Structures are given as C-alpha cells and as structure tokens.
Structure 1
Amino acid sequence: MSKLFFHSLSFSPRRFCRPLPIALLALTGACSPEIDRKVHIEGGLANLNATTSIASSGTPSVAAFASLPTITHLRLSPSGKYLAFLQNTESQTILVTRATYSNGKGEDVHVVLKSDNDKFRIADYYWLSDKQLLVSVRYPDRRYGIDSIEGRLLSVSRDGSETHGELFRRNMDAFEIGQDRNLNPIPQLQDQIVALLPDDPNHVLLALDLINPGQPDVYKVDVYSGERSLVQRNKPGINKWLADARGEVRLGIAMLNTPYRVLMRRRDSSDWETPAALEKRRHKGENVYPLGFDGDSNMLYFAAGHQGKSAIFRLDTGKPDAMEELVVADPDYDIEGPLIYGGHQKQPVGVYYAADEVRSIYWDKQTRKKHERINRTLPGRSNILTSSDRDDKLHIIMSSSPTQPPQYYLLNDETNRMTPLADVYPNLHADRLSTPRAIHFKARDGLDIPGYLTLPKGGGERNLPTVVFPHGGPWARDINDFDYWTQFFASRGWAVLQINFRGSAGFGEEFKHAGFQRWGLEMQNDISDGVAWLRTQGIADANKICIVGGSYGGYAALMGLAQTPDLFRCGVSFAGVTDLLGLLNHLDSYLVNKTEIDRQLGGWWSDHQRLKATSPITLAKNIRAPLLIVHGVQDRSVPVSQSQGMVAALKDAGFNHFKYLELPLADHHLSREEDRLRFFSEMEQFLKTYLDSNNDSDSFTQQSSFNH
C-alpha cells in the first residue's frame, strides 16, 4: 500500500493571516525631513481593515486575540499596479484584489475566492501576471482508509470573472483509494510548485507523483487547461525539486525513507551528481539544505554547519571542483533562511533568520541601505520585505514587535514614502500589551536554558499567578516577537513563562541534539527547572502555576502534571501527544524520514520501554491537578485518538477532575475562527478558576463534551 505525505507535527501558535477599504489607519510618529536617512510615513491609501469598534481602555476581549488575523498574505502584482490579500471576516477567508493606489471608494476591488474553512481552506496564492493568480487550497480527506491532507491548485482571474477549477480531475468514486479508474495514482498534494515562470505566465512547474507515490516528476502545466508535459523524470528517492532563475530544474533532494542526499546538474548539462563540496559534507555525516540559485543560475546558496551553528554558504556550480564560500554566520544562532530576493525575485540579496527576534542580513549594499532607512523609520521592530514589484520600486513591509501586532506598509522607493495599509490585529493596541524579557537559567545538569518571561501590565513582579507555556514542535522555538497566546494570558493578569528547552531549534546542533530521544526526560526537566527558577525569583505564586501547551506543548503539559503533580495547579492540553508508541504507529502510515524519526524520538522496538514509560497515557494514575483536554477531529498531525486514549486512561484511573472538549471540524492549527474562539473561551474560564481564585479546594468535577 502506498504511503501518504504527513502533515507536520509542529504546532506553532506564534505569529505568521470586512470587506473592503473604508477607514484610514491612524499611525503616530514624526517623520524626519532627511529623506536619505528615513522614510516618510503618510496617509493616502485606504486602509484594508474595516471600521471596528475599539475600546481604548479595559481588558481586550477574547475575540481581540483569538479571532483569525484580519489581513494576511498581502502581495503586489508583478507590475505593482494591484494588491492581493487574504481577509478573514465573519468566519470566512476571502481572497481579495484591488488597485494599489485606490481612492477608498471600492473601485476596482474584487472578491476572487471565498472559503468557509470547513470544506477547504486557502493555503496560499501566487501572482502569475497582473491578470491571473494561482491559488493553493488544502482540505482533509481519506485515502487507502487513512486520514490525509489534500492539496489542489485553482487558477483565477484578478477580477474573479473566471475560475479554472482543480488543474487535475478529481474522481470522487475512486478518491477514497487514491487512484483513478485506470488505477493510476492521484497525487495527494497537487500544489507543490517548483517554479513560477515570469516570462511564461500561462505555465508553472509542478512536482506531481503521478507514477510513483512520494517520488514526484516535474511537469510544465498550463494554468488554464491543466494540460501538462514532462520536464524532469524522477531520480530514485528524490522528494523535492528546485529550479533556477531561468525556470530550469537543477536540483533534487532525497529526504523521505532514504538517506538524505542532494543531486544537482550543472547549467546546460544533463548529468546529475552531487557536487564535490556537498559530497564531502555528506561523507562526514553533515546535511546541507539548498535554498536557491542566484540570477545567473550558477551560484547555489545553501545552509550547512559552521562552528556548531548553521550558516549560509554559496557554491559556484559552474566549476566542478569549486569550494564552498561562507556568506553569513551568527556565533549564537542558526541561520537557515529563507533567502531574500530582489530584482524580480531572481537575485538573492540577503537572508532572514530567527535570533532573539527576526533578523535580516543583507550582502547587497543597496538593499541594506534601504532596510536601514526602514528600520530608522520603524525602530524597535522586525521589518520584513514580503513582496516587491518586478522593477523593485514598490514593496510591501510587514512590521511587528513583541508589543506591536503585525502591520502592513507600502514603500515607494521613488517617492521615499511609506503608507500604512492594514493592521493584522486591529483591536489590539501596543499600549495595552506586555513586554517580554529574555531570561536564562541553569538546568539541573548545568545546561544554560534560554526563554522569555512576560509579566502582566501593571501587575507587579512578585507572587503572580503564572502560565507555563512550552512551545510545540518540539524542534521549533519561541522568539521575542508578537504572540497572541502570550499576550492573551498576560492581559488576564497572569505571568507567562516560555522555555526554549533542550531540543529547541535555532541554537546549534549540540543544543538540538541534546533533546533527541529525551521526551519526558531532560526536556521535561528543563521545564520543571524553569518553574523552580521562577519560584526562587519570587515571581510566581507557588500555589497558582498552570501549564498550557499545544501538540508537543500539550504533551509537555500532561507530562508536567504526571511527573511533578505538586508543581502545577492545573493544566491544558490542546492536540497533545499522549502515546508515543501510538504516535510511531500513526507515522508509519505516512511518508516520513523514518531514520530521522528513530534518531529524534526512538524506535518502536528498540526503545519500546522508554517510549511507554514517558507517555502520559501510561502515567494517567499520577495526575491529580484539574485538566482541560481539547482536540480537533480533523487534526491530521496528532490524531484525535491520542486525546481519546488519554481520556479513557484517566477514567480507568478513577480521575474525574477533567473536561474533554472534542471539536468536530477543528484541525491542528485551529484554522476555523469558531474553533479558535471556542477553545480560547473555554481555556479562559478554566484558567480563571485556578489562577484567579483563592479557593484551593478541588471544586472541578469531570465534564466530557463530544460535540459530534
């Protein structure tokens, strides 16, 4: 039986979104007259946010945090004449286009596509030309009797007058088994774009596994008719393809059910091989992660190890014996991309990466000077250029900080003017939000553990009710930027502790590898040690500490209650992993890198006893603190059976101080606004019971809600 692509386990509640232009966004701040040093902020464009009723004081509502971001994916068309964006309104997500410079009267504004986020959701979109867009949609389904996430592409006109349905016919009768009537595989993910073709907007390059599931070939596909022609036949084991700036397929990566390797062909050559410099790293057991080619298609940029951290290198692929060249490195953090492109997306000019905050490094002097002007205009923020026109004159900037929810701006290089476009969270104001501070503490074995502490505004700094908030992944990390979960907790008067426990990404290979096969062990100890540090500092009220998390964070919350039952007053698990052996069984049905899974989590047979002993489902009898468990039935990352099994284990243990809420249409990321609002409302009421009350008695009784 063919295996399916797996929807990532990582749960990231972190940042990274009515119809139509009405009110002008008001921003304050003086503009320097020295236009060569700063950019002028001006009014003039109609704001994309609808008029809203915003209270200037008082506690923001649950909806202010938990509603879907109002505007996301704001991008310019190739000429810069038009904008497109995703807008969340009244539980719908709509794809909207409009003229870049609008008079605010709704002229030339079009709703191109709508989604209720039930049957499908709009995952992404791409401008093909000023007239046409390509839209990626995702939806849950089943094939081979296994839950799956399906991806499709739609081609739509800018004015919404023409929609070309799925570029590949969907046979409903045969779709359950993932084959058409001729027993040919129907690709699960039909939206894997290898390259857009700026000089040929009628076609794109797509990776499609029409012959061997999981081993896609590359096709040139007509975005109007769906007709396709083979461009590159799969090389054994290749799962991902990369094209150069000319639209030629140049590089393939094997990473699923096979040893990791990179194959490449030189420009104007048909021979596929691993460049000598990359082969040298492979022999040393080091992986390289290709990021892209430069404008002349010879220089390959990639991320690889450098002095214990990941750094950016480049390699001249036109020279068979060329040596790699270090481009940028950071002694404290991994730099893994993505690349920043300029000049119609053909020339890499810099790279983004996560340090304490999102940073950018530019090796192109002109772009660096532009970004320095932006940073002087919007100081103390992460300012990201998310889109540019083909002439590199107009740019969309997304700007945020820990206390400033993301805002979009339009920058015009020719006039040196920056115009506000939209607030992503229009009902949240910086003066009502709390500033996180970076913290470090020593784990019990001496390892330095970084994290962030957010104190409620005006709540003092001692004996505070506290939420411990471990991140998902677990090979992810928290950074010091706007986070709607953290700000929600702080707005309720609770301190928030976020811990980048060992195994978290971004701090180098040694720190990441320290978490391999240590679920429920040293990784969990780091969280407990963080709580001990918080109590020693006198910040947390020892009787009012709750632990909350999603996905791996949900696992950590459950393990915290089971392993250290006296440490936490209560716990919340959203989409939490509860049975590690069951998780491995689940992953076995999907296309995953089993070697990496075994290395990072452990093997079902070889590590059976450890995995069982560090599963919350095994330790249910130890849990004494009140518990809220929430899971979405449509979760394709952590199956709902994980929480169902935990509920059964708690009942078998005679524990009745829990509530279980099952959301029938919710996915792993709470993509539906109704689900996000329901969960946050339930979580708020639950946490208030134990963090705001002075009653230490166990008044919480078992409740189960299965909302089928």
Structure 2
Amino acid sequence: MKNLVLASAGWIALGIAAPAAAQQLDNPAEAFGQRPAVSAIALSPSGSRVTYLGPGPGEETRAYVADVTGGRSSIVSVSDGDPMELDWCRFVNEERLVCSVSALMRAELQIYPVNRLFAIDDDSSDARSLGQRDNIFRRNRQFEGSIVDWLPDDDDRITMSRTYVPEQNRGATRVVDNAEGLGVVLIDTRTGRTERIEPPVRQNVRFLSDGYGTVRMKATISRRGATGMAGETINYYYRTADSDEWREFGSYNMVDDTGFYPLVVDRALNAVYGLEKHDGRDALFRITLNDTLDRELIYAHPEVDVSRLLRLGRAQRVIGVGYSEDENIVAYFDPEYEALHEALSNALPGNPEIIFLDASDDESRLLVRAVGPTNPGRYYVFHKATGALNEILLARPALEGVTLAEVRPVRYPAADGTMIPGYLTLPPGSDGENLPAIVLPHGGPEWRTFLSFDWLAQFFAHQGYAVLQPNFRGSYGYGEDWLVENGFQSWATAIGDVNDGARWLVSEGIANADQLAAVGWSYGGYAALQSGVLEPGLFKAIVAIAPVTDLPALRQDAMAFFGGRNIAEYLGTGPHILAGSPARHADRINAPVLLFHGDQDINVDIGHARRMHDRLTDVGRPSELIVFEGLNHYLTDSDARTRMLERSDAFLRAALGLGNPS
C-alpha cells in the first residue's frame, strides 16, 4: 500500500506494507524469544544495497547483502557460534565488505574473548584476514584491532588499528619481528598490502582520525607492575593540523568517570567532540586541536546526561547529539535533518525513535529505523530526491500483527521521598487492576531502561503480568548524583528503590501483593536476588538470569583480565561487600528461586549461579538451576531463549498460584 503524506519537509511517499491483521500466537515464548531478524545493518556507498546480520538455527549467525529495491537477500558469510560469532559487516565498496567476528576461547580454567577482522566479496569469494600474519614463532594475539577510518575517497582500502605480537626465538636466524602493541595501518582489503601509519607501541589503546586517514589523537594507558593490569587513567595526545608531533591533550579516569572522553574528530572544524561533566551531568564539548585547545560547550541538558553523537556514512559526519529523557532524543546540528526527522515522525506516528542509521556517500539515500514500545523495529530507505520512504526489513517478523502491550512512563516514591523514574507495561486489554506483577530491574548496573521495545517485558505482559522497569539510583543517564557510588557499593539504595517499586504497584491497586515477582538479567538478576535478602517475603518468586551472587568472587574473577583492578576499585571495600552478596545470605530468601546461566559467560562466571543454587539448597530453600551449555552471557540462541521464557512463565505461575494463560 502506498500513501502520500504531507509533512514539513514536503511530500513523502511511503512504500510500506499494509498492517497485518491481529493474530494469536501458538507459542508466545518462541515468538518473543526469537533473536532479532536484523542487526548491525549498514548501507552501501551508493545507497542501493544493505548488509545486515540475521540468526540461523541455534547459535548460527548469517551475514546478508540485499538490494533495497526488493531483491532477495543473499548470504555472504556464516558463523556457527562454535566458537566464532559474527559481530557486524560493513561495505568497503559496492561489492566488498569488512566483517568482525569474535569468540570465547578457553585456556585451562579461564575463558577469554578474541576478535578477528576479515574482508570478503558479496558473493562469498576472496576472503582475506586483515590482522597480523600468523606463524609458528608468534603466540596467539587476543584482539586483532578495529577500524579507524572507512576512507570514503578510497574504494578498496581502510585504515585500522592493528595489534602486533612479537615473534619468539626463531633459532639461528636473526630476522625476528619484534613489533609489539597497537599501531595503525593503511590496508588494501583485496591484496592485503599494508602501509604502516602509526608504529605499534605497547601502551597504545586507541586512535582517532579525521575520517579520511589522518590520525589526530591517540590514547595510552599505564600498566601496573609485573601484573600487567591496566591503570585507571587513559592519557590522550593530539596533533595539530600542520604537525606530526604528539602533544599532551588530557586524561580520562575510567573508574570515577572524570575528564574529557573524546568521541570523534571533525576534519572540517579541526576539532574533537567529546563528553565531560558539566553541572554534574555528561555534556558535549568541542575542543579545537590547535596550540591553545580552545574549548566550547556544545550541548548540555539540565536533567539528563548527553550520551552519544549521531554520525552518518563512511565519513561519520556528525549531525546531532543524543540524550534520553523517557524517550531517546536527538538534538540536530544540521537543520536539514531536523526538518526531515520531524517529517518522518509525522509520517510514521507512534514511534518515539526515528533514527538515521547510515547514509550513502552523497547522503542522497538514508537508512532509517523506526522503533517504539509496540513496534519492535522497521527499517526503511529514504530517497531525498523523490521523497520515497521504502520499507525494507522487519526486526521481528514473528511478532508482526501481534497486539503488543502499551508502555507508559511512571514516577514512584522511594522510602526517602525520592521520585524514581520507570516504565509500566500492562497486559493488552487489561484494566490495570489487581494483576500478578513483575519488577524487572535492568542490568549494568550503570545502564537504564528506555521507552522502547523490550522483548522480556512484552512477553510477560502478553502472558498477563504487569511489568515495572525501574531506573533505580545507580542507573546511568540522570547525572552523577543519581549514580550514587554505584549499584554495588550503594546496593542498599538501589535495591531499596527496586523494592519500593513493588510496594508502589500494590498501593496503586495495580498489583496483587500475593502475586509479586522479581525477574532480572545480569545485575538485574543480582537485584532480584538481593531484594529477597533485603526484604524476605516481599516477592513471592525470583527469576535470575546470569546473576552476580557473590561480590568477593566477582572481584576475584575480574583479576584474570586486563582491567581487573579497575573492577576491584569499582566494587570497593568494606562491609557492603559481604552484606551485598546474596549467596552469603541464602537463608534470608523465602521465595522459590529459578536460575539460568550460560557456561561460557565471561561477564559473570557461571560459578555465581552454581554457588547461589548450592547455598539455597543447603538451607532448604526451593531452587532450580538451568545451565545452557556453550552459551554466553546473552544466551544468543533462539531455542535457549524460548526455553528460558517457557520455564520462567511456568515457574512464576506455579509460585504465584496462577492458572494457564487464556
């Protein structure tokens, strides 16, 4: 169906499918548990094609290329998740792509991540590794590197940071490659020929260039003694436009989030955009890369943190700055895009987020995503010359035509009177009264929930539960005061806010006090468990997915990694460490507990779930642990997610005394 919509930017022709008729789901867990059909999508330089990732069976991920006019998608590459997994692909030119893969590897008792970059043609031919050449004299490198520039003026080459590992003794030969550390190379993605732009140095951790191949900034980090652990401070250096000399720029502290954090260099302005605190909140500054480092405040919000820059195309041109109130919002620097965003918002009502994801090199074609609480995501290509907006892909086709639950922002009082922001999702068609209810705290802990589509909340609402997602103190986005120390050091405040949300649901008549449950993933799983420690009996059932359960163990786990000491400092020391470990207080939890965990989780070791289950069992509390073999923290397997949703719903219904859904 095609409609013409008059908007502020002119006529926009919509090429979209007619809305599907409302449908009932035979297996809601399967429909909501499916991995998104589209992720990591990008536009070709001409704007005539897209590449994206989609799920295959099990852990398989497929990279596709498709014509935006409706041609069939073709598979370019496939990863089976055992162990390699595709992360993203982007176009170097119309026929060639660069892709990133990562894996979890095991060495003795430790699991650690690796990444690799490769180039490949759109017909799956001429694949070529972009990393340092392997040989028997060189130990395995963990990280290959990352793309620095896509070079819009060059159709075969890119610049990338590359990790170099030195060769060991070759025996009689004197020809030994001693290069070590992170450097930058210009690499031909077809031939593999490289030109070294920045020499590798062991302390280097990051480079920023001007979008066209000239490196303007670098970051270094100190290492602590013989342990090789990372220090907490990143030191930045810069070059002026007419010099190769490195000059001191400033530093950024990773633990307490102080200092200027560079995001992108703007060649036209000879300046770097970055985030720094302003009146207690992250704000966007621009610093000219000259002798005096002239500084300008570009954008600050009086209530929330600035969180991101909006960039387009291979040159990554900056067109706006993003922040989140209840919705994700962009303040546009470019008036053309501000007007176009308004026009698209009018043409696609009911979608709080209209996002410009990518652009052709000349910006005549734009890749657009529309998403909202009841829209899992639709992808379009917009043609500026004709005003045509053509729908090309759906993020979750299994939910097309399904009535999804409305979500509304709420504020509720904590025990000390502080108003806690959150989101309430009510079952479709319900009157919002006396419902079984779930409090669903987010992970992180320094993350936050947004007014957008959430597959977990929508599944549980579809099954008849009211769902409250609180942005408790310790959540990111509301300024440094809201972060308190953090969700672990200030767990009593954060978990108190979660529990106060449950009481608010009851006081408002939304929830039945005898049918309250806590469900969470990662830190959210920790919060669900610790809520039962803080106030036994408030929740009648607890579901924890990949949860932290023991803070001393979390500290010890972190020490196996490069930034481990920073995690230790983040956790802090003192009585909160033991008091804030639910596995140490299993006897206080009165509710039955259901645990899920992947055994290849490097974010939170599976030992946390096993420890929690064992200690609950030891003190006679009902506990069930389901282990997903070979899966990571995110359970990137549709079948596993389906099983998790099915078992969670059955567990909650039994624990809360509910019947089967109608």
Give the alignment's TM-score, normalised by structure 2: 0.90
**Residue 53 of structure 2 corresponds to residue 78 of structure 1:** no
Distance in 1 (alpha carbons) for counterparts of 2:374 and 2:411: 21
The aligned residue for residue 637 of structure 1 is 603
State which of 94, 103, 107 in structure 1 corresponds to 2:62. Answer: 94
Query: SS of 2:443's equivalent?
Result: coil
Residue 235 of structure 2 is aligned to residue 261 of structure 1? yes
Among 676, 687, 703, the residue aligned to 2:641: 676
CA 1:409/1:513 → structure 2, altered by over 3 Å: closer, same or farther? same
SS in 1 for 2:204: coil
- Tell me the secondary structure at the aligned position of residue 650 of structure 1: helix
Q: Does 1:658 align with 2:640?
A: no
Separation in structure 1 between the aligned mates of residue 640 and residue 105 of structure 2, nearest angstrom: 19
- Equivalences for 1:489-504 in 2 at 5 Å? 489-504=460-475
| 1:158-557 alignment runs, 5 A limit | 158-165=122-129, 167-169=131-133, 181-182=136-137, 184-211=138-165, 215-233=181-199, 237-254=203-220, 256-275=230-249, 278=250, 286-296=258-268, 298-317=270-289, 319-341=290-312, 345-381=315-351, 382-429=353-400, 432-515=403-486, 517-557=488-528
Change (3 A) 1:624 1:281: closer
User: What secondary structure sits across from 1:260 in the alignment?
Assistant: strand
Q: Does structure 2 retain, via aligned residues, the 8 Å contact 1:441–1:448?
A: yes
Show CA shifts across 1:190-218 (max 9, x none).
Answer: 14222222333433333233248995222
Q: Does 1:41 align with 2:14?
A: yes
User: Letter of the aligned partner of 2:340 in structure 1?
Assistant: K
State the match for 2:224 in structure 1: none
Q: 1:289, 1:500 → 2: CA distance?
A: 24
What one-letter code is carried by the residue in structure 2 that aligns with 1:560?
Answer: S
**2:164/2:200 contact within 8 Å kept:** no
**Which range moved further: 628-637 or 33-42?**
33-42
3-state SS of 1:526 partner: helix
Find the counterpart in structure 2 of residue 111 from structure 1. 75
CA 1:468–1:300: 2 relative to 1, 3 Å:
same
After TM superposition, give the deviation of residue 254 of structure 1 in Å.
4.0
Compared with structure 1, are the counterparts of its residues 346 and 644 closer, same or farther at alpha carbon in structure 2 (3 Å cutoff)? closer
Structure 1 pair 58–146 and aligned structure 2 pair: CA distance change class (3 A): closer
Q: Deviations over 1:109-139 (max 9, x none)?
A: 5311112333321101111111210110111
Deviates more, 1:686-695 or 1:393-402: 686-695
The Cα shift of 1:406 comes to 0.5
Q: Give the secondary-structure state (helix, strand or coil) at the position aligned to 2:644.
A: helix
CA distance in 2, matches of 1:189, 1:54: 48
Let me know the Cα RMSD of the aligned residues: 2.8
Residue identity in the other structure for 1:42: G
Aligned residues: 637
CA drift at 1:399: 0.3
Deviation at 1:258, TM superposition (A): 3.8
Mapped to 2, the partners of 1:618 and 1:285 lie a distance apart of 30
Letter in 1 for 2:99: V
Which structure carries more strand by proportion? Answer: 2
Amino acid paired to 2:632: D
Other-structure match for 2:105? 141
Structure 1: state its 5+ residue gaps: 1-25, 171-179, 696-708
Deviation, 1:53, is 11
Letter in 1 for 2:348: L
Q: What is the rounded CA distance, in whole Å, between the counterparts of 1:117 and 1:662 in structure 2? A: 17
TM-score, scaled to structure 1:
0.84
- The AA in structure 2 aligned to 1:612 is L
Give the Cα–Cα distance (whole angstroms) in 1 for the partners of residues 83 and 203 of structure 2. 33
Q: Is the Cα–Cα contact under 8 Å of residues 168 and 226 in structure 1 kept in the other structure?
A: no
Kindly indicate whether the alpha-carbon contact (under 8 Å) linking 1:294 and 1:346 is maintained by their aligned counterparts in 2: no
- 2:5 match: secondary structure: coil
Once the two structures are TM-superposed, the CA of residue 230 in structure 1 deviates from its matched residue by: 3.0
Aligned 8 A contact 2:54 2:62 in 1 = yes
Deviation at 1:379, TM superposition (A): 2.6
1:300 Cα deviation from its structure 2 partner? 1.0
Q: How far apart, CA to CA, are the structure 2 residues paired with 1:249 and 1:335?
A: 26
> 1:320, CA displacement in angstroms?
1.6
Distance verdict in 2 for CA 1:581–1:279, change over 3 Å:
closer
What is the CA distance between 1:373 and its match in structure 2?
1.6
Asked whether the 8 Å contact 2:380–2:390 carries over to 1, the reply is yes
Rounded Cα–Cα distance in structure 2 between residues aligned with 1:589 and 1:77: 40
Query: CA offsets, 1:501-552, max 9 Å, x none?
Result: 1110000111113436535311111111111222211211000011011110
Alpha-carbon separation, structure 1, partners of 2:317 and 2:357 = 15
Kept in 2, the 8 Å contact 1:472–1:550? The answer is yes
Q: 1:199 to 1:593 in 2, by over 3 A?
A: farther
SS of aligned partner of 2:636: coil
- The amino acid that maps onto 1:118 is D
Question: Do 1:70 and 1:89's aligned partners in 2 also have CA atoms closer than 8 Å?
Answer: no
**Aligned-partner Cα distance in 2 for 1:274–1:165:** 34
Matched, 1:154 2:118: yes
How far the C-alpha of 1:222 sits from its partner, in A, is 3.5
**Equivalent-residue separation in structure 1 for 2:245 and 2:656 (angstroms):** 64
2:551 aligned to 574, 580, 595, which one? Answer: 580
1:510 & 1:214 partners in 2: Cα distance? 41
Corresponding residue for 2:88?
124
Q: Do the aligned residues in 1 keep the contact of 2:131 with 2:162 (CA within 8 Å)?
A: no
Query: CA deviation digits over 1:585-626, x for unaligned, max 9?
Result: 11111111634x344321xxx43x431221111011222211
Q: Give the AA of the match of 1:189.
A: F
Q: Is the CA contact 2:43–2:360 (under 8 Å) kept in the aligned structure 1?
A: yes
Q: Tell me the distance in 2 between the aligned counterparts of 1:90 and 1:598.
A: 38
CA distance in structure 1 between the aligned counterparts of 2:401 and 2:304, rounded to whole angstroms: 28
Counterpart residue identity of residue 153, structure 1: L
Larger deviation, residues 473-482 vs 305-314 = 305-314
CA distance in 1, matches of 2:408, 2:197: 51
Q: Check 1:364–1:147 CA distance in 2 against 1; reply closer, same or farther (3 A cut).
A: same
Distance 2:482 2:401 in 1: 34
Q: Given residue 96 of structure 1, which amino acid in structure 2 is its aligned partner?
A: Y
Identity %: 29
Deviates more, 1:345-354 or 1:325-334: 345-354
Equivalent residues of 2:25, 2:402 under 8 A apart: no
For 2:357 and 2:287, the matched residues in 1 are separated by 26
Unaligned runs of 5+ in 2: 167-178, 222-229
Question: Structure 2 vs 1, CA of residues 34 and 642 (structure 1 numbering), >3 Å: closer, same or farther?
Answer: closer
How much does 1:339 deviate?
3.0
| Residue pair 2:233, 2:251 contacting (<8 A) in 1 also | no
Q: Is the 8 A contact 1:574 1:631 kept in 2?
A: yes
Read off the aligned partner of 1:574 and give its amino acid letter.
I
Deviation for aligned residue 1:55: 6.3
